[in-house]
Amino acid sequence: MNPRLAVGLGAILVLIIFGGRFVRVIPPGHVGVAVLFGSVQEVAVPEGFHVVNPLLSWVMFDVKQKTHKEEALVPTRDQLQTKLDVSVQYRLIGDMAPSIFKNTGTSEAVRSVHLVPTLRSLVREQGATIAKAEDFFNDDTRERLETGLLSELQARLASKGIEIQDVLVRDISLPTVLSKAIEQKKEREQAVERQKAELERFRTEQMQKVALAEAEREAAEEEAKKKKILADARAYEIREINKATASNPAYVQLQALEALKAMAKDPAAKIYFMDGQSTTPLPLMHMGETP
């Protein structure tokens, strides 16, 4: 065989077998750690296309943001344990991936070796600063707990290659005995509120009754005043008539004559009694005479 042809075929065969080892594509959100004969290379390889030493082996680290959820029992100073659901948002520091791999291992090892134990320890430490379990429901207590966990985790885990971005307390489950006590307290408070509402309703009704009675009293007083005015007017009228009739007998006889005219028009009034001894024998006409 022609030596040149043999060399060419050999080169092609080597490219086919080992050609893929000369390039490395790092996926988005990852960094690569290169290892040569058991020695970790000090510089992390960022995402993208790279021409590399075919003798290198590779370990990929996901450096995208992740969330770790932890359920922890937190003892407070009142010797009660409260269950907290805590979420920690974090990511691996890409530039520290070689150190992480050399000292800890994979991404999962970093989480289980550093993040989880540190978080549990800090949660217990922060809980020891809280006087009573029910204080967890105070906004300032929860804010202080989240802030304290965030700052402590950032301080302790940055050197381990973990960037802590946020800490959230998602849920709080108080001890059963305390939950029952709080529920009973709420029931008592609700009962007191209902009693207050009932008393307020009763007070409003009584005020309405008082207002109605006052209005009725004022109306009765006005009606009495009206009747008194009318009675005074009628009495005045009678007094004036009495004065007029006393000084003018002819006025009475005139009124008697008018009465006779009215009686004459009434079909039922046909029998009249006359006094023949009187100077005025017609009925009623003797009224006003001096006896």
Determine the pLDDT at residue 275.
54
Determine the pLDDT at residue 169.
84
Determine the pLDDT at residue 84.
80
Residue 7's alpha-carbon distances to 2, 11, 12, 126, 266, in angstroms, are 9, 6, 9, 71, 159
Is residue 44 a contact partner of residue 94, using CB atoms and an 8 Å limit?
yes
Determine the pLDDT at residue 35.
92
How crowded is residue 54: how many other Cβ atoms within 10 Å of its Cβ?
13
Using the 8-state DSSP alphabet, how is residue 258 labeled?
A: H
CA atoms of 117 and 121, how far apart (whole Å): 6
> What percentage of the chain's residues is helix, strand, coil (to nearest 5)?
55, 20, 25
pLDDT tens digit at each of 291 positions of the chain:
567 666 666 666 655 665 567 788 899 999 999 999 889 999 999 999 988 888 888 899 999 999 999 887 777 776 777 778 889 999 999 999 999 999 998 888 999 999 999 998 888 887 777 777 777 777 788 888 888 889 999 999 999 999 999 998 887 776 666 556 667 777 788 888 888 888 898 889 899 988 888 988 888 989 999 999 988 888 888 787 777 766 666 666 666 667 667 766 766 655 555 555 555 555 554 554 445
CATH architecture for the domain at 66-180: 2-Layer Sandwich (3.30)
Is residue 21 a contact partner of residue 51, using CB atoms and an 8 Å limit?
no
Determine the pLDDT at residue 186.
77
Provide the residue ranges of all domains of the chain, joining segments of one domain with +.
19-61, 66-180, 185-246, 248-291
Determine the pLDDT at residue 150.
92
Determine the pLDDT at residue 101.
92
